[in-house]
Amino acid sequence: MSSALGTVADLPADYYDGLVSRNLLPLWPSLRSVLPYGNPARKTRPTLWRYADVRPNLLRAGELAPIEKAERRVLVLCNPGLGLENMQATPSIYIGLQLILPGETAPNHRHTPMAVRFVIEGQGGYTVVQGEKLPMEKGDLILTPPRLWHQHGHEGTEPVIWLDALDLPLIYGLEASYAIEGKVQTVTDPRNASTTRFRQGGIVPYASLSERRDDYPLLRFPWREVRATLTGLAGVTSKDASVHVAYVNPETGRECMATLGFSALMLRPGEELRLTRRSASSVFHVVEGTGTATVDGQAMAFGESDTFAAPTHAEIRLANGSGKTPAFVFIVDDAPMHRKLGFYEEFD
Ligand code: 1HN
């Protein structure tokens, strides 16, 4: 039964002021705002960040902010609905575009938020995670799990730019976000052995069957393999099903990180797709192709390397702008967190 609840104005002013002076508040005037009926209140706006707008500003940051003065040279993709200063693409997802120039190194540290890198352009970049050197090619996904040491470097000749996705808004909101500085790591595994060990889905080192499972057995997912998998999948997927793969822990088959989830979608030539509406918020990054995203009725034309955000419970439609070539999109969402907390939902 829905009925209007009492307001602060209904209360004697001296009573209300007395509550406030004792650090107390009545719940009922605010109950509908923190717990609305039917749908959550959402401040997150469907927002598109064009790479053509970000890139020149990021390259300018390369001139304005030496790496020693920046530690990480990043422009943050801030959702205007959430307040730019809060650095949230969605309520739980932080997204930044990071630039590293030839010869630069970004110092070793570890922190409580988890991070992933998704490479946008440039050759020769690398991240070292716990001694394992992970090469960064366009489209590769690199995991830097919570509390693991990581540093970046660049052995190439052109600028390297990647997208960082972190669960920072959540961890900061928990007042649990902090970092520890470290000495430069010694590379103990120059060959990125984890990506060799788990080269192919469905085939794992035999010891995985009996050994204690690693929380993060695979730290780098090469785009070459993901793209080939999507292209193959398109050949065996019916027209009315989406061509969509998830990045998982190869030992458990479950999500590879605890809080945020990662997936890649192929839009076949001419395809128009309505995604299942669900409780999770998400960020989409275009790897290849052009098209239109319509999020809660707002149409946004996208091209290669553009990034856009969709709030929780959003209605999302994606249309490939080409009838001849496929489009590929990388997706970050907070579905793993929603699932673990017991409120993940899909609608219709
Ligand atoms: C961080 O550690 C990195 O290691 C990038 O490259 C962006 C944003 C907020 C907090 C930590 C990195 C970050 C970050």
The CATH number of the domain where 127 resides is what? Answer: 2.60.120.10
Cα 179 to middle of ligand 1, angstroms = 10
For residues 234 and 239, what is the distance between their CA atoms, to the nearest angstrom?
9
pLDDT band of 133, cuts 50, 70, 90: very high
pLDDT at 134: 98
Question: Within a domain: residue 33?
Answer: no
Neighbour-count burial for 136-163, b at 16+ CB within 10 Å, e otherwise: bebbbbbbbbbebbbbbbbebeebbbbb
Question: Within a domain: residue 141?
Answer: yes
pLDDT band of 1, cuts 50, 70, 90: low
Question: Within a domain: residue 3?
Answer: no
Which H helix or E strand runs over 330?
Answer: strand 327-333
Question: Within a domain: residue 197?
Answer: yes
**Integer CA distances (angstroms), 72 to 68, 97, 109, 144, in order:** 9, 10, 11, 15
Q: Assign residue 239 a region: left if phi > 0, alpha if psi is -120 to 50, beta otherwise?
A: alpha
Q: Count of alpha carbons within 13 Å of 314, Cβ hemisphere only? A: 27
Number of H helices and number of E strands within the chain? 8, 21
150 CB within 6 A, ligand 1: yes
pLDDT at 47: 98
Cα 330 to middle of ligand 1, angstroms = 20
pLDDT (tens digit per residue) in 262-276: 999 999 999 999 999
Cα 151 to middle of ligand 1, angstroms = 10
Tell me whether strands 327-333 and 272-274 are parallel, antiparallel or unpaired.
Answer: unpaired
42 CB within 6 A, ligand 1: no
Among candidate residues 319, 312, 317, 325, the one with its CA nearest the CA of residue 291: 319
User: Which ranges of the chain does DSSP label H, i.e. alpha helix?
Assistant: 13-21, 31-34, 51-64, 67-70, 168-173, 193-197, 223-234, 335-340
Write the residue with the smallest CA distance to atom 12 of ligand 1: 72
Q: Averaged over 10-25, what is the pLDDT?
A: 98
Identify residue 36 by its one-letter amino acid code: P
- Provide the percentage of residues in the chain whose pLDDT is more than 70: 99
Instruction: Count structural domains, the chain.
Output: 1
Mutating to test ligand 1, I would choose from 99, 119, 164, 332 the residue with most ligand atoms within 8 A of its C-beta, which is: 164
Question: Within a domain: residue 226?
Answer: yes
Structure tokens at 117: 């890198």
For residues 61 and 46, what is the distance between their CA atoms, to the nearest angstrom?
26
pLDDT at 274: 98
295 CB within 6 A, ligand 1: no
pLDDT at 306 > cutoff 90 = yes
**Integer CA distances (angstroms), 261 to 251, 254, 288, in order:** 16, 10, 20
Question: Within a domain: residue 154?
Answer: yes
Question: Within a domain: residue 347?
Answer: no
Identify residue 200 by its one-letter amino acid code: Q
* Contact status, residue 64 vs residue 316, Cβ threshold 8 Å: no
Cα 72 to middle of ligand 1, angstroms = 6
* Contact status, residue 129 vs residue 189, Cβ threshold 8 Å: no
Question: Within a domain: residue 109?
Answer: yes
Domain residue limits at 119? 47-341
The mean pLDDT value of the chain amounts to: 97
Closest ligand 1 atom to the C-alpha of 152? 6
